Amino acid sequence: MPSRVTSEIARDLLADPVEEVRLLAYGILDGMEKRIMQQIFAMRDRHEAAGDDDERAHACVCLAQLYWELIYQNLVRGEVLRFTLERVEKFARDALEQHEDDASMWYLLGRCALMRQNPDVAEMHLRQAQFHSFPTERLLPWLAEAAFQRRRYDRVSLLLGGLGAGVTGAKGVSNVTASPVVQPAVRFWTR
């Protein structure tokens, strides 16, 4: 079972009336967070010891992704979430100072802007990710979310419609389909 799902289940179990279940859930969440934090500490050491800009940029990419993993797996909340979001943004921007063409960092900045309810900035970052060859089918749901936050519901339908439309590729026509998690939203907005 994916960690993101496991963490949600474990978080729900923190309110279980049985103490042993609560302790088990806490242990699972704590273990997941500790594994990521150990990787962050090791990567921060590599970042500080970096001998050149490329090494430092690589460490920044890894740090942005690791901090994002804490958010993605729902391991941080409240003030810690805000702090973690700031760390993602800082390291993503630092990485982009060295390698402006890193589509994954533009993508992370777009996701952060969506979490901050800033759809205009989110779309700008997501379009940069697209410009630098980030897979369009992975961007469309987030561009649709930005449109939704701006109350541009016509754009939501148009963007999500692209996930079910045929796309002509180098080897003919193939269907770009949404992930199973996104499919209900695609069906709703494109009917």
**Model pLDDT for residues 99-112, shown as the tens digit of each residue:** 999 999 999 999 99
Q: How far is CA 26 from CA 11, 39, 91, 105, 129, in A?
A: 8, 20, 29, 31, 36
Stretch 87-96: mean pLDDT, rounded? 98
- Establish if 37 belongs to a structural domain: yes
Confidence band of 79 (pLDDT split at 50, 70, 90): very high
| Residues ≥6 apart with Cβ < 8 Å to 138 | 107
Q: Would residue 150 count as lying in a domain? A: no
Q: Is 54 a domain residue?
A: yes
Alpha-carbon torsion angle 66, 72, 78, 81, nearest 10: 30
Is the pLDDT at 61 greater than 50? The verdict is yes
Residue 145 covered by a domain:
no
- Evaluate whether residue 62 is within a structural domain: yes
The reported pTM is 0.86
Q: Is residue 74 part of a domain?
A: yes
User: Under a CB-based contact definition with an 8 Å cutoff, are residues 166 and 186 in contact?
Assistant: no
What is the domain extent for residue 47?
A: 1-99
Q: How many domains does the chain have?
A: 1
Q: Which of 66, 50, 139 is nearest to 98 (CA)?
A: 50
In the prediction, which pLDDT does 185 show? 84
Q: What is the pLDDT of residue 172?
A: 30
pLDDT mean across residues, the chain: 89
Query: Is 170 a domain residue?
Result: no
Q: Is residue 5 part of a domain?
A: yes
117 in the Ramachandran plot: left (φ > 0), alpha (ψ -120 to 50) or beta?
left
